[in-house]
Amino acid sequence: MPKMKTHKGAAKRFKKTGSGKFKRAHAYHSHILTKKDSKRKRRLRQTTLVNAVEVKKLKKLLPYA
């Protein structure tokens, strides 16, 4: 059997945690930052976990993560 390929677009955006969950960055933090207040921008810098509904899809995209 051939090896499965890692989806490189997903590999650059998601990392697996020690417990097997996936973490991701927030959207809306790349441009048009002047109208967003400091509290919102500060929270967008932090990472968050991927919703449990999407984890099954990510496991297919990242078989070796």
User: pLDDT tens for residues 45-61?
Assistant: 999 999 999 999 999 99
Q: Token pair of 35, please?
A: 């109208």
* Cα within 13 Å of Cα(34), Cβ side: 0
| Per-residue pLDDT band at 39 (split at 50, 70, 90) | very high
Instruction: State the pLDDT confidence band at 19, using cuts at 50, 70 and 90.
Output: very high
CA distance 57 to 36: 32
| CA gap 33, 30 in Å, rounded | 7
The single residue listed with the structure tokens 């932090």 is 46
* CA 8 – CA 65 distance, rounded (Å): 11
- What average pLDDT does the segment 16-42 reach? 97
Taken in order of first residue, the domains within the chain and their CATH numbers are 8-61 (4.10.410.60)
Q: Which DSSP category does 36 fall into? A: S
